[in-house]
Structure 1
Amino acid sequence: MRDDDPVDARLATRLAELRAERGWSLDDLAERTGVSRSTLSRAERAEISPTAATLNRLCHVYGRTMSRLLGEVEAAAPAPLLRAADQPVWEDRASGFVRRSVSPPHPGLRGELVEGRLTPGADIAYDRPPVPGLEQHIWLLEGRVEITAEDAGYLLEAGDCLRLRVWGATRFRCPGPGDARYVLAVVLP
């Protein structure tokens, strides 16, 4: 098990719990997600940190947003005020994506804010939303990002905001030359 990142260790435990709660084997989960049994097993043992795309597939079968899943691995329930230093950060090193939960989800609320950062060349494709019909508002603060949602392409530059309801595949790509930093407002349907 990786001891260098406690969030990865807690995430691994929670992923294993979610699968066990449903009575699914690793083979069952692999069939439902399209993720290899080996990758799922290694993620549940914290030998690897799942990529953003893999985590998205897991969130889809478990009916959670990524923020909600990551919020579940935090030690305490979210407080009304969350200082910047205490906001949970998760990184997909393989794709160059850093995700900060600015306002972690709360069971009684439908919205959440996320800060995303993509390094130049980062390209993340999600084959499905974690929750069908998820409403997203993407406000680009810095850089440029190309977003594809269900065959429509958008190039966002600093200050632009894209609003959409996600039913199918999406893709986020940072063409550079610098990082892209954005605020993602997520609203459950």
Structure 2
Amino acid sequence: MRRAEEAAAAAVDARLAARLGELRAGRGWSLDEVSRRSGVSRSTLSRLERGELSPTAAQLGRLCTVYERTMSRLLMDVEAEPPQLVPAGQQPVWRDEASGFVRRSVSPPHSALRAEIIEGVLDAGARIAYDDAPVPGLEQHIWVLEGTVEITVENTVHTVRRGDCLRFRLRGPSRFHCPGPDRVRYAVMIVLP
């Protein structure tokens, strides 16, 4: 089973690499231009587009902002047309080993729909920072299923514990931190403006 998961993850990474290149080419931008706009180095961008490197959550967040896409929409671009029902074992999972972040696309996203649900898991002590909203005015509802997470939005830190739900419109940077001692698992409903 582990080999099948690794093969599926490698296929997603390869399609993601190709899609990042397509998005850049579609705008007629050079690697230098994307680097300037995103703050991700030219060499890292080149390696990401060649599939030699898997992006971190922070890098992917910056690129989503540059390309005006939510992370879910970008990842949806690299998946096949989704069915209406996705069994738990078939939901796409993306891992950022460096930050201790795991992201599962729970609801089958579709380009014609405005809302989707994802599951996030952050290891104790893990931090993720997003420099900007990928789509200004993006609405998020974050419901903590296990543990505690500190979410910073518009310079306000919200401590969200098991059972709590935080709702906001994202217009700037945001940060997620799991203070521990245990990991945090949460559901996010994302609604496009």
Q: TM-score range by the shorter chain?
A: over 0.9
* Alignment deviations for residues 15-64 of structure 1 (CA, whole Å, 9 cap, x no partner): 01111111111001111111110111111111111111111111111111
* Alpha-carbon distance, 1:105 to partner: 2.1
Whether the aligned pair in 2 keeps the contact of 1:118 and 1:179 (CA below 8 Å) is: yes
Name the SS of the counterpart of 1:103 in structure 2.
coil
Identify unmatched segments of 5+ residues in structure 2.
Answer: 1-6
Kept after mapping to 2: 8 A contact 1:3/1:9: no
**Contact 2:84–2:108 under 8 Å retained in 1:** no
In structure 1, what is the Cα distance between the partners aligned to 2:121 and 2:62? 20
Which amino acid is 2:42 matched to?
R
Give the counterpart letter for 1:165 in structure 2: R
Name the structure 1 match of 2:145.
141
Q: How far, CA to CA, are the matches of 2:71 and 2:134 in structure 1? A: 7
Tell me if the contact between 2:85 and 2:108 (Cα under 8 Å) persists in the aligned partners.
no
> Which of 74, 78, 81 is the aligned partner of 1:69?
74
User: Does structure 2 conserve the Cα–Cα contact (< 8 Å) formed by 1:129 and 1:166?
Assistant: yes
Q: Does 1:59 align with 2:64?
A: yes
| Structure-1 separation of matches of 2:179 and 2:169 | 24
Equivalent residue, structure 1, for 2:191 = 187
How many positions carry a matched residue from both structures? 187
RMSD over aligned Cα atoms: 1.4
Is structure 2 residue 28 aligned with structure 1 residue 27? Answer: no
Deviation (angstroms), 1:4? 7.2
CA distance in 2, matches of 1:43, 1:60: 16
Mapped contact 1:67–1:104 kept (Cα < 8 A): no
For structure 1, list consecutive stretches of 5 or more residues without a partner in the other structure: none
